[in-house]
A and B are shown apart, each in its own frame.
Chain A
Amino acid sequence: MQHNGHLGPCIFSAKDVEIQFNLRGKTLTAVRKASLDLYQGETMAIVGESGSGKSVFTKSFIGMLDKNGAVTGGQLLYRGQDLTQFKTEKEWLAVRGKKIAMVFQDPMTSLNPVRTIGEQITEVITWHFGTPHAQARQEAIEILKKVGISDAETRYKQYPHEFSGGMRQRVVIATAIACRPEILICDEPTTALDVTVQAQILNLIRELQRELKMTVVYITHDLGVVANVADWVSVMYAGQIVETGTAEEIFSSAVHPYTKALLRSMPQLGVKGHDLYSIQGTPPNLFKEIKGDAFAPRNPDAMEIDFEEEPPLFQVSDTHFAKTWLMHPYAAEHRDALALQDAKEKEKQKPAAPFDYQNAEKLLQVQDLTVKFKLGSREFKAVNNVSFDIYKGETLSLVGESGSGKTTIGRAIMRIYNKVDGSIIFGGEKINGKIDKKKAKELHMQMQMIFQDPMASLNERAKVDYIISEGLYNYHLFDNKEDRLKKVENIMAEVGLSSDFSSRFPHEFSGGQRQRIGIARSLVMNPDFVVADEPISALDVSIRAQVINLLNKMKRERSLTYLFIAHDLSVVRFISDRIAVIHKGRIVELAECEELFRHPLHPYTKALLSAVPYPDPKVERNKTLISYDPSVHQYDAFPPNWTEITPGHFILANEEELEGYRKEL
């Protein structure tokens, strides 16, 4: 291939790589003839959902496949050397970590918990270069400074648990770049981090890349991150690279149906009150032989040929390639029809009218809620003096970072944590503390919860039938067995699951299907109010839109009220009527959705909004990050109050700050 628009020479080239795993006696083809070129100093993002083979593919670059996996075809050329020919560990050690380094997703588990972070960096320098310890130590401190760790000499001697998640990821990055590698592979480096920290880490990697002239490979499912960092994007589906091109090309003129669908299903692009574009179904099973285009069964606009022949890689522009039959001259007619259809759809969508708060009645009131937890002999407030109301029929979102107390509020409302201060009033009655059995029973039927992790929230040893009927059994809400089965069947149909599935066990389902089972379980008793605790954050991108649409559909059809707990502002903006921003156990700002995005007042809200990734490279590259420093408040001297600054817009501030905010408005 020519050097079209590339900054430097091609230093790494994967050609028709095939990787197979042996699992339970069956062969799984995780990567099916994927090719990729990496050029010096550039950033390549590989996008795909879990199971697409993106992680496995890049792991093969450094010979780190699990024991039961192997590269069974193709070549991995690094500076002329074919890495697939490596036989001994020694050959790999000259490349792995030294020339090609890797950063993992979870910084909390990537570092050895019982050794100082300094030792862990020094170790890799002395290992690869034989540098004397004292000198390596000096280098390690320099690198720590470089990744933005202040007071590096002291922190050198500290252990991983003394660092926050973001700081740990900096240390992990420092370890990875300690040998000045040519290629840095980042496997979902920010997925486990909070949004504000994510933006900082991405900036850090970008700066380091420029300084060290590294090639960076990002593996991610988050198109917002891609837009932020990538020069080049490769989209992976079912073990193949289906489309590759510059970031601009992929975001503005994608041609593969999967890429297009992925981009269209981003909640940022959704129109409120309408269904989000969603990809149907679930990713394919790689144990089976895949015929034709792997995405065809999930593509409503697929052509007959997609089911029969595997498409070749078509060239769209000098830099843009796509593996889809749509690019074939014969498909011109179909392509035109699709374009017309798209244009029509875009036209008719107008945002729904905002929720009418004038005539709304209060369903749930939370007043001065405080939840304390004991940590050893110390006590800390997970939720600190929080007050808000939820109106009948609205969706209120609670947005905050991990550990902010948002889940605790949800669980306090659900009475999972019952020892709380303050009061929670539902339908005019206090429901926290001791209540009588009859009332508790009523509440169980009126309030339900949807959980975050579809893998953990279903009982593995029970059949779907039992899981969904659990609530019906508890209150005997059926006349006889047929009636119960009919109820189960109805709700399964509503969440889009075939009733044949009812005799299966949960592990036979994909994440999205499991989450739909969880939703069915919560809604089978016809509750009025649902606490949805991060219901989509554990799901794959292609599945999220499905579940968001399902939640919205259920809300419309059953006139539900949601408390939606999330950390992802883009989803929240699409789904909610009002948003409450929570930080360290306190709600700092609460307003109607558009009002909050238009006039954020609290500095934390501003920081949060500035960090949200947006799936458009033009927007992402020109954004400025606002960082939040809690020490700007002088709350010791002048404690803040929860104040309604304009009708419906609440903020946590003291008098002096309120003055400032009023001026801003």
Chain B
Amino acid sequence: MLYVVIVFLWTSILLYLLLGGADFGAGIIELFTSKHNQDNTRKTMYRAIGPIWEANHMWLIIAIVILFVGFPEIYTTMSIYLHIPLVIMLMGIIARGTAFSFRNYDAVVDDMQLIYNRIFRYASCVTPFFLGIIAGSAVAGRIDTHATNFLDAYVFSWLHWFSVAIGLFTVAICGFLAAVYLIGETDNEKDRQRFIAKARTSNILAVIAGALVFVAAWVEHIPLIQWVFGNVVGITAIGLASLSLLLLWYLLYHGKTKILRILAGFQVTMILLTTTYRHFPNIVLLKGGAYLSLLDNAGNAKTMAALGWALLLGSVFILPALFYLIYSFQKKKSSVAH
């Protein structure tokens, strides 16, 4: 059952990155869109993600619940030493979530919209940036459980080049996912071209940010190169991701939306796979070489069994309903648009 739980944890993180990420990305794209087109982007986005918006963010909750029920030491260690970035991320989640619903459900449409929009866009950048910082800090080995002063314990645990680079990388990936997703959601050629251009830019930025991550790792003496290229799975996954990048660029010029989406999702999956594979089962590295492991720091067998069954049972209900939701709105859209 332990492995079932771990698979669910990994899958929820992946799905949060893909679905929640595209959702954040839509806000990021909106921020980097010229004033003139912002409204269009916004409408396309609302049409595209409105119905599944709530559901996209449930993956984060599932991951957190799995952590605190199944791996309480991992949850509490991160909560204590990454308190500050977690709070900032939460502020981002609050601001973004509420601004999204305010701007879509406010009964009066007036200047308030400008405020909602601005909050929504900035929070869409800040939140994934800090999510990236938190993820980076987990594996950077800077969390010092023996620190004696505030800065060492609660600030330098997360504030270093490596985590900042991962933060930027996460933002770029979210933007990229959103742009690719939105290409297929527009109803006119002009917007389509716009999103294709955005997808290109954000893809280039993601590649640059990815390179930055390697540089930062080198600066911070984190053996990232060895993690990624030191094993067959890592090399294969990165190789496949790079190959698919070529294909992706080719397709961007030929506009095959469905395959594009699959490719973008595939690349992000490969990146997550590479970075987690080498670490497994140690997902939190502490200063001085100690670590917290998904296998050794898991809860007792009975709890894991109960959690595993709860998750399996849950997916029997959730997955079909979720697919049907997405399916019906896809169908509805195509019947409206064409």
Q: Is B one of A's binding partners?
A: no
Which residues of chain A have a CB within 8 Å of any CB of chain B?
none
Which residues of chain B have a CB within 8 Å of any CB of chain A?
none
